[in-house]
Structure 1
Amino acid sequence: MRGRMNWEDLWPLLVNGTLETLYMVGLAAFFTILIGLPVGVLLFISRSNGLAPMPKVNAILGALINIGRSLPFIVLLIALIPFTRLLIGTTLGSTAAVVPVTIGAFPFFARLTESALDEVDYGRIEAILSMGGNIWHVIGKALLPEALPTLLAAITLTVVMLIGFTSMAGVIGGGGLGDLAIRYGYQRFNDQVMAGTVIILVAMVQGVQMTGERLVRRLAHRR
Structure 2
Amino acid sequence: MHFEPWFWPEFFSAINDTLYMVIVGLIVSIFIGLPIGVILVVTREGGIIENKALYNILNVIINIFRSIPFIILLVAIIPFTRLIVGTSLGTTAAIVPLVLYTAFYIARLIENSLLEVDHGTIELAQAMGATPWQTIWRFLLPEALSSIVLALTVATIGLIGASAMAGAVGAGGIGDLAITYGYNQFKTEIMVITVITLIVMVQLVQSLGNLISKKIRRK
TM-score scaled by length of structure 2: 0.97
1:18 lines up with 2:51 in the alignment = no
Q: Which moved more, 1:203-212 or 1:181-190?
A: 181-190
Deviation at 1:7, TM superposition (A): 4.3
Matching residue within 167, 170, 183 for 1:170:
167
1:40 lines up with 2:37 in the alignment = yes
After TM superposition, which residue ranges in structure 1, 4 or more long, deviate above 6 angstroms?
Answer: none
State the match for 1:112 in structure 2.
109
Which amino acid is the alignment partner of residue 53 of structure 2? Answer: K
Q: Which moved more, 1:212-221 or 1:121-130?
A: 121-130
Unaligned runs of 5+ in 2: none
1:148 lines up with 2:149 in the alignment = no
State the match for 1:122 in structure 2.
119
Matching residue within 173, 176, 179 for 2:176:
179
1:89 lines up with 2:105 in the alignment = no
Higher relative contact order (CA 8 A, sep 6+): 1
Which amino acid is the alignment partner of residue 102 of structure 1? Answer: V
Which amino acid is the alignment partner of residue 160 of structure 1? Answer: I
Deviation at 1:131, TM superposition (A): 2.2
Deviation at 1:90, TM superposition (A): 0.6
Deviation at 1:204, TM superposition (A): 0.2
State the match for 2:24 in structure 1.
27
RMSD: 1.2
Distance 1:5 1:173 in 2: 25
Give me the identity figure in percent: 44
1:216 lines up with 2:180 in the alignment = no
Deviation at 1:173, TM superposition (A): 1.0
Matching residue within 188, 191, 205 for 1:191:
188
1:134 lines up with 2:92 in the alignment = no
Distance 1:48 1:120 in 2: 16
Unaligned runs of 5+ in 1: none
Deviation at 1:5, TM superposition (A): 6.4
Deviation at 1:48, TM superposition (A): 1.7
Which amino acid is the alignment partner of residue 119 of structure 1? Answer: E
For residues 121-165 of structure 1, the C-alpha deviation after alignment (integer angstroms, 9 at most, x for no partner) is 222212222222111000110111110000000010000000000
State the match for 1:103 in structure 2.
100
Deviation at 1:8, TM superposition (A): 2.2
Asked whether the 8 Å contact 1:14–1:196 carries over to 2, the reply is no
State the match for 1:80 in structure 2.
77
